[in-house]
Amino acid sequence: MQKIIDRFISYVTIDTESDPNSNTTPSTFKQWDLANKLVDELKAMGMHEVTIDEHAYIMATLPSNVTHEVPTIGFVSHFDTTPDFTGAHVNPQIIQNYDGKDIVLNAEKNIILSPDYFEDLLLYKGQTLITTDGTTLLGADDKAGITEIMTAMEYLINHPEVKHGKIRVGFTPDEEIGRGAHKFDVEKFGCQWAYTMDGSQIGELEYENFNAAGAKISFKGKSVHPGYAKGKMINSMLLASQFITKLPPNEVPELTTDYEGFFHVNHLTGTLEETVLELIIRDHDKNKFEARKKLIYTIADQFNQQYLKQFGEAICEAIIKDQYYNMKEKVEPVFHIVNIVEKAMLELGITPLIKPIRGGTDGSQLSYMGLPCPNIFAGGHNFHGKYEYIPVESMIKATEVIVKIAELTARQ
């Protein structure tokens, strides 16, 4: 347990926040700090073929220790953290033998992690939790996954009695801004299939995810003195507000679950003359996903038709870019790779929670790049914010799952 804690804390205290406005890979130079540390650790523990390329993609090999032919499998995690909430100066707190009551993250700011609001906390009564100090995120997404992969590889190196085939490890930058797999060399990785260790609650096993797109809608206004504005002023901020009201009001993240898709307003900036509205569009069903994108264009066209009549010009432009697709299509034909994980969990006394991801992972893009890649729990909760926490016991179990998958793949 202490080794897991120490390793995890050594990773989360390194700031690796990514930047969607950067055009470099990695998007922030500080991601190199953890990337280089991981390379050194991989070499020190005895991994083979440890490489890091000019974009900070890390790969390493654990050679097979059996004489019969075994498929080469991989384990993948990302080392960046989300730009949605600061990951600088992370100061983890360790709560031993959690008593099921409120956890004071920050007394000065009255920030409380409470089971009255976050009911999942009660699943971990009696366990050791790692939390934030209430001012940053924790970074378990996905430094927990890295911790588990590194610990599992170290275990297999030190325990050659556990038989396994060739295993590849891959660590990526910029997953949180949707670019984690963009420059991942699947051919160089050389695996028949892989797993991302990037899920949440213990037992999660996911091979379905959202189809995803980002929409940027720009509105043009006309600035006129408010005292003489009648029939002349166009307030672009009000146009954006009207656009939002035309979206289905109940199809938002906070009112949907399971396979239900949504529109999410995640950024809005503007002045009277120009406003930019940014949305993310999500749906598991491909047809519904396409219909959601079409609705955005339809609303934009309606705005333009209205204002063309009134002012003689278009005032709204919608640009939509697909981000990733549902990996289910690529995983179902090789479903035995999911069955292996389910069997591994059951042998370890873990109840598999097979459900769709309400998001995406590197695995969703990698699956469409020719590397089928389901997602396995890493153990964290409440990602991307100050209430993030992780039970250490869940990280230990995730490590055991990796070892068991390697063992079962060689056995089969």
Residue 283 designated active-site: no
Q: What are phi and psi of 59, to 5 degrees?
A: -135, 150
Pair (183, 223) in one structural domain = no
The pLDDT score that the predictor gives to residue 357 is 87
Q: C-alpha angle with apex 10: 162 to 193, nearest 5 degrees?
A: 40
Name the β-bridge partners of 265.
279
Name the one residue in this structure whose structure tokens are 């396979």: 259
- DSSP for 166-200, please give it: -EEEEEES-GGGT-TTTT--HHHH--SEEEEEEE-
The pLDDT score that the predictor gives to residue 44 is 98
Range of the domain at 42: 2-209+326-411
Residue 80 designated active-site: yes
Judged by DSSP in three states, 339 sits in helix
With contact defined as beta carbons under 8 Å apart, do 28 and 17 qualify?
Answer: yes
Pair (73, 142) in one structural domain = yes
Please tell me the number of Cα atoms within 13 Å of 68 on its side-chain side: 7
- Can you say whether residue 41 is alpha, beta or left, with left for phi > 0 and alpha for psi between -120 and 50 degrees? alpha
The pLDDT score that the predictor gives to residue 412 is 77
Pair (274, 337) in one structural domain = no
With contact defined as beta carbons under 8 Å apart, do 56 and 32 qualify?
Answer: yes
The pLDDT score that the predictor gives to residue 244 is 97
Give the end of a domain, one of 261, 295, 324: 324
CATH of the domain at 188: 3.40.630.10
Tally of domains within the chain: 2
Pair (306, 190) in one structural domain = no
Pair (196, 336) in one structural domain = yes
- Beta pairing class for 167-172 and 73-78: parallel
Name the one residue in this structure whose structure tokens are 């004071």: 104
Pair (182, 55) in one structural domain = yes
The pLDDT score that the predictor gives to residue 405 is 98
Pair (37, 142) in one structural domain = yes
Give the end of a domain, one of 324, 346, 374: 324
Pair (299, 348) in one structural domain = no
Q: Which of 19, 174, 175, 400 is catalytic?
A: 175
Pair (182, 62) in one structural domain = yes
Give the end of a domain, one of 324, 339, 360: 324
The pLDDT score that the predictor gives to residue 243 is 96
CATH of the domain at 312: 3.30.70.360
Give the residue among 218, 353, 356 at the shortest CA–CA distance from 282.
356
The pLDDT score that the predictor gives to residue 233 is 85
Give the residue among 76, 71, 48 at the shortest CA–CA distance from 165.
71
Buried b (16+ CB within 10 A) or exposed e, 77-93: bbbbbbbebebeebebb
Pair (14, 161) in one structural domain = yes
With contact defined as beta carbons under 8 Å apart, do 78 and 362 qualify?
Answer: yes
Long-range contacts of 226-233 (CB under 8 A, 24+ apart): 233/272
Per-residue pLDDT of the chain (412 residues; tens, 9 = 90+): 999 999 999 999 999 999 999 999 999 999 999 999 999 999 999 999 999 999 999 999 999 999 999 999 999 999 999 999 999 999 999 999 999 999 999 999 999 999 999 999 999 999 999 999 999 999 999 999 999 999 999 999 999 999 999 999 999 999 998 889 999 999 999 999 999 999 999 999 999 999 999 999 999 988 888 998 898 888 999 999 999 999 999 999 999 999 999 999 999 999 999 999 999 999 999 999 999 999 999 999 999 998 887 777 789 999 999 988 999 999 999 999 999 999 999 999 999 999 898 887 889 899 999 999 999 999 999 999 999 999 999 999 999 999 999 999 999 7
Q: Which of 19, 41, 80, 206 is catalytic?
A: 80
Pair (152, 18) in one structural domain = yes
- DSSP for 238-306, please give it: HHHHHHHHTS-TT-SGGG--TT--EEEEEEEEE-SSEEEEEEEEEESSHHHHHHHHHHHHHHHHHHHHH
Pair (62, 112) in one structural domain = yes
The pLDDT score that the predictor gives to residue 307 is 82
pTM, two decimals, is 0.89
Give the residue among 76, 75, 90, 92 at the shortest CA–CA distance from 16.
90
